[in-house]
Amino acid sequence: MLSLSVTAHLALLRAAEARAHLARGRRLDRLRSASGQATAEYALVLLGAAAIALLLAAWAVKSGKVGQLFDAVFGNLISDAK
């Protein structure tokens, strides 16, 4: 009777260990499959920010705002220096 009980107990322990091993493997697989996702998201955000910056710069140059800004800055510097 005791040997049957020990055998059953060992079988249950092995089954639980195998199930835990499979669950751990699934968690690792999920982590591995998403490992480059943050890098890709970061790259997309940088591309979006660069596109907006280029559009803003193109608008500023086309409208003459950049020249006005430099004129105002240098005008203030020259008037302060006098």
pLDDT mean over 17-22: 78
Q: pLDDT, tens digit, for every residue of 29-58?
A: 676 666 677 888 999 999 999 999 999 888
pLDDT mean over 13-33: 75
Strand, coil or helix: 16: helix
The reported pTM is 0.44
> Would you kindly state where each structural domain of the chain is located, as residue ranges?
1-35, 36-82
Residue 64, pLDDT score: 85
Element (H, E) at 12: helix 2-33
pLDDT above 70 (res 5): yes
